[in-house]
C-alpha cells in the first residue's frame, strides 16, 4: 500500500512540476475567442446556451469545422466566475488536470489491466512527462483533451469497479461517458476500447464461448453507452447546428489519404523522438499524388507491419495489444478518414498516448523490465523528455515566443506568418509585422487572405498611411464582401479621416453583422463621444459593450462619461473606478475620476484629498503623464504647497519644454514665491 501511495504521489508531483513554468504566461491564440472575448462565459445565466451553441460561436466569418464542447464552456464559465481573467489560475487548472490524468492512467494500469505497480509507474511517468503533450497542457484552450481523457479514464475505472453495487458504479460511469461526449466527440470510442480490454482480459475463454456467452453479456453491459452515443450523435449533428463537413487538408479525399501514412509516421516520430514540436502544422506536409510514391509506400509499409503484428498479438491475447488498440482507436477518428480540415495536431496525441503508456507498462512488467541496462536507458529517456517538456512549456508562455518558433520551424505555414505578424503589430513592431505578412502565401485560403489584408490595414492605420490602408481594405472586401471585421476597419479609416458620420455608419453595420463583436461597439462609442452625441445614445452603446464583455475597461470609461453628462455623478464615479480596476495602466479613467473629485471639492473637503491620491496613483504608473502632472501641480499651488507644485511643473517641462500652460503657471508661481 505504501508503494502504491508513493507511486501516485510521485506521478502527481512530476505531472505538475514538468509543465509548471508555463503558469507565468498569459492567454494566447484561441484563448481570445473562447475566453477573453467570449460573452457566453461571462454570465452564469448563459450556461444553458453552452449546449445550444457551437464552441467558437460567432468567432469566424468563413466556414469552419463545427466544434461542440458545452462541458468545456461550462468549465470556462465557472472558472471565470471563480478566478476572473487571471491566466495563472487557468493555466494551473490545465496542469492539475494533466497530473490527475497521469494518476488515473496509473490506476487503470494497475486496477483494470492488473499490471505490476512498477510497470504501471513507468508507463504513467512516460505519459506525465512526454513533450508531445505540451500543447494541451500549456495552452489554456487545449484543455478539451485534458478534460475528455479525465472523463474517459474515470468512466473506465467505474465500469470495471469490482466492489458491490456494480450497477451503481456503472450508472455513474455512464454519466461520466455522457459528460465526456459533451466534451469531445472522440469519447465515442470508449465503448470500443472497453470491449477490447474485455476481450484481452478473457484469456481462458475459448473463441466459441467468447461469441456465445461473453460477447452478449458485454454488449448488454455496454448497451447504455451505445444508446447514449447514438442520442448524442443525433443531438450533435441534427439539433444543434446540423452537419457541417470541413474540407480535406489537401483539397481532395484521394491526395489526403495518400498523404496520411506520412502523417502517421510523423505521429510515431513525435512519440519516439519528440523533436521539432510546433504549434501549427498548416502546409507542413508535401501532398502525395501517387500510390507509387516512395514516401507513400514507406508509410504504408510501416502501417502494414504494425497491423500484422497487432493481428498476431490479438490472436495471442497479449496485453501489448490493449495499448495498440487504444492508440489506434483514439487516433483513427482524427486521421482524416473523414475530412478534418487539418493534417495533424500534437493535442490529438493526448488521449492515444495512454495506449503507449500501456505498452511501456507491459514491457516494464515483463522481461524487458528485468534488464538493468533497459531501466537505466528508460530513466535517461524520461529525464531527456522532462527537459524538453520544460523547455516547451516556456515556449507556450506567450504568443511572441510561440509564433516565432512556429515560423522558424515551418516557414511554409501562412497562418503562422499571419498570427506572428498580428503579435508583432500588437507590440508596435510594424516593419517586422509587414515582412511576416509578405511571407504568407494565402492564395489557397480566402479566410487567411482576408486576415492578411486586415492586418495590413491595421499596420497602415497605425502608421497614418491611410491610402495604403484603404487599398488593403478593398482587397479584403473583395475576398469577404460582407464582413463585420472589414466594417470595423472601414469605420477606423473614416475616423482617421475625421468623417465621424461615415465612421458611425460603418460601426453600426459591423454591429448588425455580428451583434457580439466588441470592436464594433468600441468604435461606435469612440465615434459617439467624438461627435458629442446625446448621453443616452453613448450610454446605450456602452451598456451593449459591457453586456458582451464585462471585462472591457473602455466601456466603463464611456459609460462614466455618459452618466456624468446626465448628472448621475455617483454612478459615473463607480464606472470610472471599474475601468481602473479592470485596466490599471490606462490613464483616462484616473483623469476623469480625479476631475470629478475636484469638482466636488467645493462642497466636500475630503474630495480634494481623493483627487490628489488618484493623480499620485496615475503618476506612479505613468510618471510622464502631462495632464496628471499639470492638474496635480495646480491643486498643490492652490493649497499653498508651492514647492511641490514647482517640482511637478519642472518635471512636466522636462518632458514637454514648449508647454505654454506649464511655463505660464511656473512663471506665476516663481513670481509669487519671490
- Residue of 616, 623, 625, 624 whose CA lies nearest to 588: 625
The three cell numbers of residue 663 are 511655463
Confidence of residue 92 (pLDDT cuts 50, 70, 90): very high
pLDDT over 90, % of the chain? 48
Share of the chain above pLDDT 70, in %: 93
- The whole-number pLDDT of residue 416 equals 93
- Average model confidence (pLDDT) for the chain? 87
Question: How many whole angstroms separate alpha carbon 633 and alpha carbon 629?
Answer: 6
The C-alpha cell at 116 is 505490476
Q: Which of 444, 379, 440 is nearest to 415 (CA)?
A: 440
What cell was used for 496?
Answer: 482617421
| pLDDT, tens digit, 9 for 90 and up, residues 388-428 | 999 999 999 999 999 999 999 999 999 999 999 999 999 99
At residue 523, the pLDDT reads: 94
Angle, helices 553-565 vs 569-582, to 10°: value is: 170
Residue-wise pLDDT tens digits, 150-176: 999 999 999 887 665 677 888 899 999
pLDDT one-digit tens code per residue, 505-516: 999 999 999 888
Q: What count of other Cβ atoms lies within 10 Å of the Cβ of residue 537?
A: 13
- Compute the half-sphere exposure of residue 522: CA atoms within 13 Å on the CB side of its CA: 17
What is the pLDDT at residue 401? 93
The band of 180, judged by pLDDT with boundaries at 50, 70 and 90, is: very high
Predicted pLDDT of residue 320: 84
Q: Does residue 83 have a pLDDT over 80?
A: yes
- Tell me the torsion sign for CA atoms 356, 361, 366, 369: positive
Instruction: From 53, 43, 48, 46, select the one nearest 80 (Cα to Cα).
Output: 43
> In terms of Cα–Cα distance, which of 235, 10, 270 is closest to 130?
270
Asked if pLDDT for residue 40 goes beyond 70, the answer is yes
Is the pLDDT assigned to residue 123 strictly greater than 90?
Answer: yes
Output the pLDDT for position 674: 45
User: What number of other Cβ atoms are within 10 A of residue 17's Cβ?
Assistant: 16
Q: How confident is the model at residue 602 (pLDDT cuts 50, 70, 90)?
A: confident
Inter-residue contact 73 to 41 (CB < 8 Å): yes
What is each CA distance from 210 to 196, 201, 226, 310, 317, in whole angstroms? Answer: 12, 11, 20, 19, 13
CA 304 to CA 311: how far, in whole Å? 10
Looking at residue 208, its pLDDT comes to 62
Nearest to 155 by CA among 194, 118, 122: 194
Exposure letters 190-227 (e unless 16+ CB within 10 A, then b): bbbbbbbbbbbbeeeeeeeeeeeebbeebeebbebbee
Grid cell of 608 as nine digits: 480634494
Residue, of 97 and 371, whose pLDDT is higher: 97
pLDDT score, position 181: 92
Task: Enumerate the domain spans of the chain.
Answer: 2-395
Q: What is the pLDDT of residue 210?
A: 64
**Which one, of 270, 267, 263, 269, lies nearest residue 389 by Cα?**
270
Model confidence pLDDT, tens digit, residues 513-551: 988 888 999 999 999 999 899 999 999 999 999 988 898
**pLDDT at residue number 140:** 92
Whether the CA torsion 666, 667, 672, 674 is positive or negative: it is positive
Do 448 and 415 meet the contact criterion of CB atoms below 8 Å apart?
yes
pLDDT at 500: 93
**Predicted confidence (pLDDT) at residue 283 exceeds the cutoff of 70:** yes
C-alpha cell at 561: 462619461
DSSP 479-537: H-SS-HHHHHHHHHHHHHTT-HHHHHHHHHHHHHH-TT-HHHHHHHHHHHHHTT--HHH
Q: What is the pLDDT of residues 450-496, one digit of tens each?
A: 999 999 999 999 999 999 999 999 999 998 888 899 999 999 999 99
Half-sphere exposure of 459 (CA within 13 A, CB side): 25
Residue 330 has pLDDT above 50, yes or no: yes
* CA–CA distance, 483 with 627 (Å, rounded to integer): 39
- Is this prediction's pTM over 0.95? no
Amino acid at each position: 500500500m505504501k508503494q502504491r501511495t508513493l507511486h501516485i504521489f510521485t506521478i502527481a508531483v512530476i505531472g505538475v512540476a514538468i509543465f509548471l513554468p508555463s503558469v507565468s504566461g498569459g492567454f494566447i491564440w484561441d484563448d481570445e475567442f473562447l475566453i477573453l472575448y467570449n460573452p457566453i462565459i461571462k454570465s452564469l445565466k448563459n450556461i444553458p446556451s453552452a449546449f445550444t451553441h457551437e464552441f467558437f460561436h460567432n468567432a469566424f466569418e468563413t466556414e469552419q469545422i463545427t466544434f461542440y464542447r458545452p462541458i468545456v464552456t461550462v468549465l470556462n464559465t465557472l472558472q471565470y466566475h471563480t478566478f476572473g481573467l487571471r491566466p495563472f489560475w487557468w493555466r494551473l487548472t490545465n496542469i492539475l488536470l494533466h497530473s490527475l490524468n497521469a494518476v488515473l492512467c496509473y490506476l487503470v494500469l494497475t486496477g483494470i489491466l492488473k499490471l505490476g505497480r512498477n510497470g504501471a509507474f513507468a508507463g504513467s511517468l512516460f505519459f506525465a512527462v512526454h513533450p508531445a503533450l505540451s500543447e494541451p497542457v500549456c495552452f489554456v484552450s487545449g484543455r478539451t483533451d485534458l478534460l475528455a481523457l479525465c472523463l474517459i479514464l474515470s468512466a473506465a475505472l467505474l465500469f470495471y469497479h469490482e466492489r458491490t453495487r456494480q450497477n451503481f458504479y456503472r450508472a455513474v460511469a455512464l454519466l461520466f461517458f455522457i459528460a465526456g461526449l459533451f466534451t469531445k466527440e472522440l469519447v465515442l470510442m470508449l465503448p470500443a476500447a472497453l470491449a477490447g480490454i474485455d476481450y484481452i482480459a478473457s484469456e481462458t475463454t475459448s473463441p466459441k464461448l467468447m461469441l456465445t456467452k461473453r460477447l452478449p453479456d458485454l454488449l448488454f453491459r455496454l448497451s447504455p453507452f451505445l444508446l447514449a452515443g447514438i442520442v448524442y450523435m443525433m443531438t450533435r449533428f441534427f439539433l444543434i447546428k446540423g452537419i457541417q463537413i470541413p474540407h480535406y487538408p489537401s483539397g481532395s479525399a484521394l491526395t489526403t489519404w495518400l498523404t496520411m501514412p506520412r502523417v502517421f509516421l510523423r505521429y510515431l516520430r513525435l512519440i519516439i523522438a519528440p523533436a521539432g514540436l510546433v504549434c501549427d502544422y498548416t502546409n507542413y506536409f508535401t501532398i502525395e499524388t501517387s500510390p507509387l510514391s516512395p514516401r507513400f509506400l514507406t508509410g504504408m509499409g510501416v502501417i502494414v507491419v504494425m497491423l500484422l503484428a497487432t493481428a498476431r498479438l490479438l490472436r495471442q491475447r497479449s496485453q501489448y495489444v490493449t495499448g495498440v488498440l487504444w492508440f489506434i482507436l483514439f487516433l483513427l477518428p482524427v486521421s482524416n478518414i473523414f475530412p478534418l480540415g487539418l493534417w495533424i495536431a500534437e493535442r490529438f496525441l493526448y488521449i492515444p498516448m495512454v495506449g503507449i503508456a500501456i505498452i511501456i507498462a507491459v514491457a516494464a512488467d515483463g522481461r524487458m523490465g528485468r534488464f538493468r541496462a533497459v531501466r537505466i536507458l528508460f530513466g535517461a529517456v524520461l529525464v531527456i523528455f522532462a527537459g524538453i517538456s520544460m523547455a516547451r512549456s516556456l515556449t507556450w508562455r506567450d504568443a511572441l515566443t510561440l509564433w516565432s518558433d512556429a515560423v522558424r520551424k515551418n516557414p511554409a505555414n501562412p497562418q503562422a506568418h499571419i498570427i506572428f505578424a498580428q503579435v508583432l503589430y500588437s507590440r508596435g513592431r510594424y516593419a517586422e509585422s509587414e515582412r511576416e505578412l509578405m511571407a504568407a502565401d494565402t492564395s489557397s485560403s480566402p479566410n487567411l487572405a482576408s486576415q492578411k489584408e486586415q492586418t495590413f490595414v491595421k499596420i497602415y492605420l497605425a502608421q497614418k498611411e491611410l491610402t495604403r490602408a484603404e487599398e488593403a481594405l478593398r482587397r479584403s472586401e473583395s475576398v469577404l464582401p460582407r464582413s463585420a471585421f472589414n466594417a470595423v476597419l472601414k469605420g477606423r479609416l473614416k475616423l482617421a479621416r475625421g468623417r465621424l458620420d461615415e465612421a458611425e455608419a460603418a460601426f453600426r453595420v459591423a454591429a448588425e453583422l455580428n451583434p457580439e463583436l466588441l470592436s464594433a461597439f468600441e468604435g461606435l462609442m469612440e465615434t459617439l463621444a467624438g461627435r458629442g452625441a446625446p448621453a443616452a445614445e453613448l450610454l446605450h452603446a456602452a451598456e451593449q459593450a459591457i453586456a458582451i464583455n464585462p471585462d472591457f475597461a473602455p466601456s466603463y470609461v464611456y459609460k462614466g462619461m455618459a452618466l456624468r453628462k446626465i448628472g448621475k455623478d455617483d454612478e459615473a464615479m463607480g464606472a470610472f473606478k471599474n475601468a481602473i480596476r479592470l485596466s490599471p495602466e490606462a490613464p483616462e479613467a484616473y483623469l476623469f475620476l480625479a476631475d470629478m473629485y475636484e469638482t466636488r471639492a467645493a462642497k466636500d473637503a475630503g474630495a480634494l484629498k481623493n483627487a490628489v491620491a488618484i493623480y499620485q496613483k496615475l503618476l506612479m504608473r505613468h510618471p510622464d503623464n502631462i495632464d496628471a502632472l499639470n492638474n496635480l501641480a495646480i491643486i498643490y499651488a492652490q493649497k499653498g504647497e508651492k514647492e511641490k507644485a514647482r517640482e511637478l511643473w519642472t518635471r512636466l517641462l522636462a518632458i514637454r519644454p514648449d508647454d505654454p500652460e506649464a511655463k505660464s503657471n511656473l512663471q506665476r508661481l516663481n513670481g509669487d514665491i519671490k
